[in-house]
Chain A
Amino acid sequence: MYVVRVEDLNVSVNGEYVIKNFNLLVSPNSIVLVRGPSGSGKSTLLKVLVGLIPNVYRKFRVDGFIEVLGLSPVEAVKEGLIAYIPQDMTTFFLGSRVCDEFEVLGRWLDDFKGLSDRYVSELSDGQLYKLLISTAMLSGVKLLLLDEPTSHMDKYSLINMMSSIRRLCSEVGLTVLLVDHRVELIRDYVDVVISLGSEEVGLRRISKGGRFSVDGYSVVVKDLWFDYDGYEVFRGLNMFVRCGEVFSVLGRNGSGKSTLLKILANILKVRRGYVSVSKPIFYIPQRPIYWFTTNSVYDEVNLYIKVFRRDDDVDEVLKVFKINYLSSRNPYTLSVGEVRRLSLALAYITSPKTLLIDEPTLGLDSTSLGVLEWFLDVFRGSRSVVLATHNEGIKELVDNSLTLGFDHDVNQ
């Protein structure tokens, strides 16, 4: 008997196919990875398997045979056999604090004792991911559906998680289906890799640069101290980013990367320390993933061109960022990778002196990574970019970096 059986699956919305003729068989106690580029329908597949599509999202049309643990997806969810962990996790908690989640379960998780009084909104994505997986395990699920775990977890947390999942597969009969595009990080732990859609690589260059002449430092942080209600994040942090430099802030989940970016963007105020950032700033947050104004990708790009009085051509920008095929789509219906490309396009139009990107590789496939690489090259030398990420692979794309540790140790 298969844990997941999908035959001739077709998923469409408004007559457009998201998934076409897809077949999948998942054996018990196995870990299956479905890979594919942004927008290939990976997240949609998980939503179909958990019954969200078409039971919650009724506009979708689903044809084909789907069976999960011998039941329909809705019945399997009713029985509490499936746990699904999406990309945007903050909305997946009903309680404000971590302890609220423990109240629901009626049990405490020792690993999270230190975080129990913290607000969910203050936790990093990696911490949220670990919390969701741990609570799912406690609920006795048989099938775990994970959407892009590598985007949310640092290398060490990811290895720990995959090792414990591997162990649980043999010990308690857990089966795992995950969708991701960074196969290399989890290849050793996966039994089967299945592809959805095809990836294309390559970018056309357009000239951009030299709008500003720069020298000196664009970001200066001296003796920065910061805490969340006594939970200390920075103790005397120093950081310097030269003008025209692409700089990365590295660190494990919860080490304060996003907090630092919010401080640089002046969203969080500091009580002690000196922070100076060259303005104008453009900030691409890790969450919320969606923060757009208009009803189409075209209108969104056009809006920024008008507001910033640029002479860029909308179609040209859409082509460069590989989102021209999405021009009529509502930004809120895009996949995470597509949203990140749109965000980069908006940053490109505004041409800020300092660009802050939180988790730049979030949801990016090889096409999107190519866009990011090109984008950083365009900015390099004329403007400064600060990237906060747990992905150490980003070091290859940056000029300088700083690593945040848990004991407030910093390496630049």
Chain B
Amino acid sequence: MTLINDVKELLTKEYLIKYKLVVITSLLILIIVVTLLDSLTLIATALAIVVIIYIMRCLRDFILTMKVFTLFILPFITSSLTIQLFLDLLDVSRIILSTLKMFLLYILSITLIKLITFKDLLSMVKYLGLKPVLILILGFRIINLGITTLNDITSIYNVNLGIVSKGFKRKLILIKLVTQAFIQSFIVRVLDMGEAIYCRYRSVLKRLGG
């Protein structure tokens, strides 16, 4: 349980990512890995990880990140092993390969989030043009805004309507209300963000060469 708590804390504090979100992402990654099982080789994966370690330049960060991801990959390894044993088709190399590929996907995504700063994105204007960079920035911001809005709305509704959500049917009603509030609130906040682009960033991006 301590490991799970550590992981939760690391995700929420260090990466600002919700634990539940990573669980959902993990499921998606499992599907990707299963469908692309033969697309990458073991050597390429290993090399890529070495490159990523070099980019991250901090072994402590890397180990910590691996520790976090192990928790999400562990169910896959266990279930694969169980199924293979059950079907009498044990293939350890296949499990290792898939595991490494999963690590690779996780590390690549987290490295991208950690490495690409706002400054980097803005400097890309010169090479990519204003529009693609703006789309990229907006994409990052909208994801962040979506997560924040969902957290805010869930917290408020859990406090204010939590007392009436006892029982399965009432819980469903609460989920429905939260979803409706989230959609409306998210749209309004995206519009507000549009105001910010219009008012605050137009002249700045123009200065940067867009």
Contact = CB atoms under 8 A, between A and B. Distances in A.
Nearest to A82: B199
Nearest to B138: A94
A82 to B, nearest CB: 7
B156 A291 contact: yes
A265 B189 contact: no
Nearest to B123: A103
B129 interface: no
Interface stretch (B18-26, B90-98, B190-198): B190-198
A280 B188 CA distance: 29
Contacts of A96: 16, 144
Given A104-B204, A293-B184, 4 more contacts: A92-B196, A103-B119, A288-B153, A292-B181
A104 B201 contact: yes
B199 A292 contact: no
A96 B185 CA distance: 19
A266 B163 CA distance: 13
A323 interface: no
A64 interface: no
Interface in A255-300: 262, 265-267, 279-283, 285, 287-288, 290-294
Nearest to B192: A91
A307 B157 CA distance: 12
A293 B181 contact: yes
Contacts of A78: 202-203, 206
Given A139-B204, A332-B184, A121 B148 contact: yes
Given A121-B148, A291-B152, A267 B203 contact: no
B31 interface: no
B159 A281 contact: yes
A308 B130 CA distance: 51
B118 interface: yes
A279 B158 CA distance: 12
A119 interface: yes
B100 interface: no
B108 interface: no
A72 B20 CA distance: 48
A-side interface size class: 35 or more
Nearest to A93: B196
Which of A91, A103, A290, A292 gathers the greatest number of chain B CB atoms within 10 Å? Answer: A91
Interface residues of B, number: 46
B93 to A, nearest CB: 41
A100 B144 CA distance: 14
B201 A292 contact: no
Contact of A293 (B145, B159, B177, B196): B177
B47 to A, nearest CB: 31
A95 interface: yes
B124 interface: no
A291 B144 contact: no
Which 8 pairs across A and B sit closest by C-beta, in order of nearness? A80-B203, A91-B192, A100-B118, A103-B119, A280-B163, A267-B155, A92-B196, A95-B118
Contacts of B157: 291
A270 to B, nearest CB: 14
A84 interface: yes
A307 B199 contact: no
Nearest to A47: B195
Given A288-B189, A293-B181, A332-B188, A94 B196 contact: yes
Given A266-B159, A290-B184, A307-B161, A79 B203 contact: yes
Nearest to A100: B118
A332 B163 CA distance: 25
A350 B164 CA distance: 10
B181 A88 contact: no
Contacts of A350: 160
A283 B156 CA distance: 7
Contacts of A1: none
B198 A105 contact: no
A350 B189 CA distance: 27
A50 interface: yes
Given A56-B194, A279-B163, A280-B163, A290 B122 contact: no
22 contacts: A56-B194, A79-B203, A80-B206, A83-B199, A83-B200, A92-B196, A96-B144, A104-B201, A121-B148, A267-B159, A279-B163, A281-B160, A282-B159, A283-B160, A288-B152, A288-B153, A288-B189, A291-B152, A291-B181, A292-B181, A293-B177, A350-B160
Interface in A44-90: 50-52, 55-56, 77-80, 82-84, 86, 88, 90
A192 B130 CA distance: 41
B180 to A, nearest CB: 5
Which of A78, A121, A266, A291 gathers the greatest number of chain B CB atoms within 10 Å? Answer: A291
A307 B16 CA distance: 33
Contacts of A77: 198-199, 202-203
Contacts of A51: 198
B137 interface: yes
